[in-house]
């Protein structure tokens, strides 16, 4: 069975120049995702570098088609980790055990990514295109409207409907007990 981390991997197709191309393609969108959560330029820049370092380190495990989603989820998780660490620094030492260090659970992480990808793949084609261009590639409403030949109002409407569908999809699967941990993604999509 082909999972998001097996099969043809990114390292089969990427060298330093290929990695540089990926960085230039996605760094603005990833930075925007991080900034939306941490609201600090310096922290967002540091997290951005961590995300792309992690991409390089995990290139052997990643399939090329999953890079955008992987960057989306990784930037979200690293941003939340930063906020938790920042909060711990502001809490008196005797209460730090409230926030135990959570080890990275690759299976849960892979599952979260697959649930988001599954939800996106269930969108109608036009809404899927709008969502991927706006959320994964960080394109503006105007850019997406020009690319797809639709109005900016349609782009906004499709994105709103897509986001609502993905939230509902994740919530439904969580209710069934299939999307453990995916509820954090609901925060990010709002």
187 and 127 belong to one structural domain: yes
**Alpha carbons 175 and 4: distance in angstroms, whole number:** 23
10-residue mean pLDDT profile of the chain (190 residues): values are 44 69 89 88 92 87 83 88 80 46 60 79 91 81 92 92 85 58 48
185 in Cβ contact with 116 (< 8 Å): yes
Other beta carbons within 10 angstroms of residue 74's beta carbon come to 21
Q: Looking at the structure, do residues 26 and 1 belong to the same domain, yes or no?
A: yes
What residues make up the domain containing 50? 1-102
Q: What was the pLDDT predicted at 98?
A: 44
Q: Give the residue from 102, 128, 157 where a domain finishes.
A: 102
Give the CATH number of the domain where residue 188 resides.
1.10.10.10
Q: Which residues contact 174 (CB under 8 A, 6 or more apart)?
A: 180, 182, 183
CATH at 14: 1.10.1740.10
Rounded distance between C-alpha atoms, residue 78 and residue 84, angstroms: 10
Query: How many whole angstroms separate alpha carbon 53 and alpha carbon 96?
Result: 28
Contact residues for 145 (Cβ-Cβ < 8 A; gap 6+): 151, 152, 154, 155
Domain co-membership, 98 together with 110:
no
pLDDT, mean over the chain: 76
Q: From CA 60, how far away is CA 148, in angstroms rounded?
A: 33
Q: Under DSSP, is residue 6 helix (H, G, I), strand (E, B) or coil?
A: coil
User: Does 89 lie in the same domain as 16?
Assistant: yes
Q: Identify whether the C-beta of residue 174 lies closer than 8 Å to the C-beta of residue 115.
A: no
Instruction: Choose the final residue of a domain: 102, 135, 151.
Output: 102
Return d(Cα 121, Cα 113) in angstroms, integer.
Answer: 12
Residues 66 and 134 in one domain: no
Count: domains in the chain: 2
Identify the pLDDT of residue 12.
54
Model pLDDT, residue 172: 77
What is the pTM (predicted TM-score) of this model? 0.52
Whether residues 116 and 77 fall in one domain: no
């Amino acid at each position: 069975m082909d999972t998001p981390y097996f099969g043809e991997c990114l390292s089969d197709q990427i060298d330093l120049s290929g990695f540089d191309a990926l960085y230039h393609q996605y760094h603005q969108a990833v930075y925007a995702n991080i900034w939306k959560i941490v609201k600090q330029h310096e922290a967002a820049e540091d997290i951005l570098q961590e995300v792309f370092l992690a991409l390089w380190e995990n290139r052997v495990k990643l399939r090329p088609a999953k890079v955008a989603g992987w960057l989306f989820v990784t930037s979200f998780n690293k941003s939340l980790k930063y906020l938790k660490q920042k909060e711990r620094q502001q809490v008196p030492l005797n209460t730090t055990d409230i926030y135990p260090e959570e080890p990275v659970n690759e299976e849960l992480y892979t599952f979260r990514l697959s649930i988001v990808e599954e939800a996106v793949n269930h969108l109608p084609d036009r809404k899927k295109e709008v969502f991927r261009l706006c959320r994964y590639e960080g394109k503006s409403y105007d850019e997406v409207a020009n690319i797809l030949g639709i109005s900016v109002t349609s782009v906004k409407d499709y994105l709103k409907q897509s986001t609502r569908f993905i939230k509902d999809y994740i919530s439904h699967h969580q209710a069934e007990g299939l999307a453990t941990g995916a509820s954090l993604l609901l925060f990010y999509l709002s």
